[in-house]
Amino acid sequence: MKTQKIVVINNGENTGTYSALCFLENFPADKDINEKCERFMSWDCNIYVSTDLYRVREVNIPDWMTEQYYLNNCIAWKFSSALAHDFIINLTEHQYNKFKDLSENYQYFIDEYFKGNTKNPFKLSIRDQITEWLNSPYDYKRPQPLSPKQYEAATRYIPMYNAKSIINRAYWS
């Protein structure tokens, strides 16, 4: 993992509407990063306020992730890293491409399932099956690593309701 500085631009009508523009090192030299703009205070308050047009944020991304890949997948990266940061740290690009297509609950489940060591044969077989699925070529007939019954049994003791609160915190950050 590497920490990368990302320039985000306020391209919406409200003060908090920012989207990724580029890596800081690729920000055009002819533009002023301290430029100000006028935006509405919020979605329900139509008072114009002065705010920064550009901001710099730091994100942790894998070493293989390029600027273009990040810009194309920044939303998916934001949510999957919030849900399963410990798990996705060491994923390859191929593995992450499969992982990001899973539902939010599935991503949270996988992160929780891979935490800590276990000697339980069922848990070990589920881990092996997930690892094998991540390493295999993309198969449209098998878009998830587990069958519905396996997933139901494996999630029985995992507090899946936590995924929703994690997603809400990531959405508002």
Q: Which two tokens stand for residue 150?
A: 């396996």
pLDDT recorded at residue 110:
93
pLDDT recorded at residue 78:
93
Gap between the Cα atoms of 24 and 148, Å rounded: 43
Q: Where are the beta strands (DSSP E) in 33-135?
A: 36-42, 45-52, 54-61
pLDDT recorded at residue 140:
74
Domain ranges of the chain: 2-59, 75-172
pLDDT recorded at residue 142:
83
% of the chain beyond a pLDDT of 90? 62
Other residues' Cβ atoms within 10 Å of the Cβ of residue 142: 11
Q: Where are the beta strands (DSSP E) in 25-155?
A: 36-42, 45-52, 54-61
100 neighbors 76 (Cβ within 8 angstroms): yes
pLDDT recorded at residue 173:
76
Question: At 14, is the secondary structure helix, strand, or coil?
Answer: strand
Cα angle value 113/117/122 (rounded, 5°): 60
pLDDT recorded at residue 96:
94
pLDDT recorded at residue 116:
79
pLDDT recorded at residue 90:
87
Cα angle value 107/109/115 (rounded, 5°): 105
| Mean pLDDT of the residues in the chain | 90
Give the residue-averaged pLDDT of 137-163.
89
pLDDT recorded at residue 68:
94
Gap between the Cα atoms of 128 and 133, Å rounded: 8
pLDDT recorded at residue 172:
82
Gap between the Cα atoms of 155 and 146, Å rounded: 11
Give the residue-averaged pLDDT of 46-68.
92
Q: What does each C-alpha distance from 170 to 58, 88, 173 come to in angstroms?
A: 15, 16, 5
